[in-house]
Structures are given as structure tokens and as C-alpha cells.
Structure 1
Amino acid sequence: MKNHQNGFTLIEILVVISIIGILSATLIPFILAAQKRAYDTGASACAKSIQTVQGVVFIDSNKYTKIGSQANEINKSTDGLNGACKKPFLYTRDRSDESKLYSEYTIDIWDARGTKVFTVTANSFSVNASGSTAFSIDGSGGVNIP
């Protein structure tokens, strides 16, 4: 008479658990990096959106505008502003000189969960440009779009 037992042995279970542990340890850094890239993509989309809105504002009024809560400033209710700009982890810093809004503007945008600061001007779009606001995970140096 043979004695057959159903199920797995302890060794088999331990081997499977260790394989799963090794696989998850190697995959988690890639997943987290992909997540940060996704946050940066959202900030980039917002930056491009602000650049487009600035172009439209300039065509309409021969002057760029600042980010603010007034009706004539860029804020969450501005037409054409990307949905990514309305997220709570997205920060901006308007470095524009009020006296030069007839010809130029400079705005830094970043997602606190990402890794990059995007700078938009009338003529350029740059990543981690020199002179840009230092990246911060708590949003210090910037504000949410009002």
C-alpha cells in the first residue's frame, strides 16, 4: 500500500516564496522609477499647457500674464489649461518680471512626487535648467496653481 499525501512540502513552499521575494526585490525599483517618470510627464504636460496658454494670451493682448487668482491671470479656471496642472502635488513658481511681461516670462513647474523641474519661457522649454527653482518634495519655493 502506497501512502500518498496531497499538497506541497515545506521545502517546495519555501523555494517558491524565495523566488517571489527575489523577483519582487528586482522589480520594485523599476516600478517606482516608472511611477516617478509618470509624475514628471504630468508636470511636463502642464508646462507645455502653460506655454500654450501664454501664447494665446499674448496673441489676444500683446502681453504675457502671471500665474494668480485674478480673472486675467493663469489659474485653474483658465481655458486650455491641462488637467495635470490642477493636481495638488503640482507646484509652480512664476519668476516673471512684471515690467517685462510685454516680451518675456519664466515659470518653473514640478510635481513633488517626480524628479524634475520644467522651466517654460516664451521661446524655450527646459528641464532642470540652471537658475530654476530647486526641486522640493514638499513644494517649498512654489505654490499650487490657484
Structure 2
Amino acid sequence: MKNMRKGFTLIELLIVVVIIGILAAIAIPKFANTKTKAYTAAMKSDLRNLVTAEEAYFSDSGKYTSYDTTKVKFKPSTGVSTPNIIPGAGYWSAT
């Protein structure tokens, strides 16, 4: 009787590794693009919230805050940098 070896051949293993590599090459750029889109969406949302907070502060005090987002009780999303507030005469801008 012949001994039958059970297992995978080197060729079969190489084919599996190549297929996994191809799938990873397709998935990684899509993940990076999704991450950028999520960051942009969080930034836009933060700016909308900051606009609302600044206008509420202006409504109460008659002036806009100067460089201090804690006065308007604004907290940016995790991973998104805090914008700089530049007040002007009757307006403000965030950079």
C-alpha cells in the first residue's frame, strides 16, 4: 500500500499568498480614501457646530469670542484639530 501524504503543496500555498496579496492591494487604497472622507465629514460637522455656538454666544453677549472655543462650549471631534477663531467687527472667521 502506498502512503498518501496529506497537506498542501508549495504551489497551492503560493497561489493562496498571491490571491491574498492582490486582495490587500485592492482594499488598502479604498480604506485610505474612506478615512480621508470621514475626516473631512467630521471637520465640516465641527465647523457647523462652531457656527451655531458662535452665533449663540453673539446673541447673548453682543460680541464674538476671541480665539477661545471654551467660551462657546465647543469641543471638536476626536482627531480633528481645533480651529482658530478670528473675531472682527460684526463677524468672525475660523481657520
Please state which band the TM-score falls in when normalised by the shorter chain. 0.7 to 0.9
Decide whether aligned partners of structure 1 residues 65 and 35 sit closer, same or farther in structure 2, where only a CA change above 3 A counts: same
**For 1:9-28, what aligned pairs fall within 5 Å after superposition?**
9-28=9-28
Decide whether aligned partners of structure 1 residues 88 and 20 sit closer, same or farther in structure 2, where only a CA change above 3 A counts: closer
Residue segments in structure 2 that go unaligned for 5+ positions in a row: none
Report the equivalent of 1:49. 49
Return the structure number with greater helix share: 2
Paired residue type of 2:26: T
Residue segments in structure 1 that go unaligned for 5+ positions in a row: 69-73, 109-146
Return the structure number with greater strand share: 1
What stretches of structure 1 move > 3 A for 4+ residues in a row?
A: none
Larger Rg: 2
What is the TM-score normalised by the length of structure 1? 0.57
Report the equivalent of 2:83. 92
Count residues in correspondence.
95
User: Aligned-residue CA RMSD in angstroms?
Assistant: 2.0
What is the TM-score normalised by the length of structure 2? 0.82
**For 1:25-36, what aligned pairs fall within 5 Å after superposition?**
25-36=25-36
